[in-house]
Amino acid sequence: MCGRYVVTKPISKTEKIVKKVIGVVKNENNYNAHPQQKLPVIKQYVNGKTLEGLDWGLTPSWAKEKNIRPLINARLETLGEKISFKNLIKSYRCLIVADGYYEWKREKSIKTPYYFERQDDETIFFAGIYKTKQFCIVTREATSNVGDIHDRQPVIINKKDLNDYLNLKSDGIDFLNSYEAPELKFHPVSKNVNVPTNNNENLILPK
């Protein structure tokens, strides 16, 4: 799964991609982005792309009670089956801008946080789906090296392929299933990242 990530200067990172920015603070740095925060997401419209602030976590369409926890991840393997997701992957795709993300390695009762980023240091674009003002991140089975830390990882789209994923004329599930994950690098970090209110660049430094 993916439950925390890092995004810095999202407007600068996407200025050549989007035409308009809505509800995103200029040059805001978030080293501990977490569920239910408003975070920068790329959406496609007829007249171009926008960078918008959406809440991380989708309230399921079947939820009747307000205490239902929003869904922060959607498994690629069941996107076409889950009632909460199958219509969204057809018509409501988005991209989540990031520098990197955190994942925890569990060894018996100990959980150690790791920070993941692209091997080439390029901006990360998570594949996502959205509904109104909420989004969630699509995840897949981890590649071999990532799997040493966790069995899941977010689906990451290369910059040159962003339009292909956002193109609603294509089959989103087929596209993601055939997509090759970019190489990632990672290192252990401080457990200070466990506290959502901690937000500074020291969180991503090697432990």
Q: How far apart are CA 138 and CA 150, in angstroms?
A: 15
pLDDT at 2: 85
pLDDT at 64: 64
pLDDT at 27: 80
Q: How far apart are CA 147 and CA 108, in angstroms?
A: 17
Homologous superfamily, domain 4-102+118-181: SOS response associated peptidase-like (3.90.1680.10)
Residues 83, 66 contacting (CB under 8 angstroms): no
- List, for the chain, all residue ranges whose pLDDT scores fall below the cut of 50: none
Residues 42, 18 contacting (CB under 8 angstroms): yes
Q: How far apart are CA 119 and CA 73, in angstroms?
A: 23
pLDDT at 63: 65
pTM score, two decimals? 0.95
Residue 16 CB partners (closer than 8 Å, separation 6+): none
pLDDT at 144: 82
What are the residue ranges spanned by the domains of the chain? Answer: 4-102+118-181
> What's the start-to-end Cα distance of the chain, in Å?
22
Q: Give the neighbor-by-neighbor strand order of the sheet with 110-118.
A: 29-33, 4-8, 100-107, 110-118, 184-188
pLDDT at 68: 77
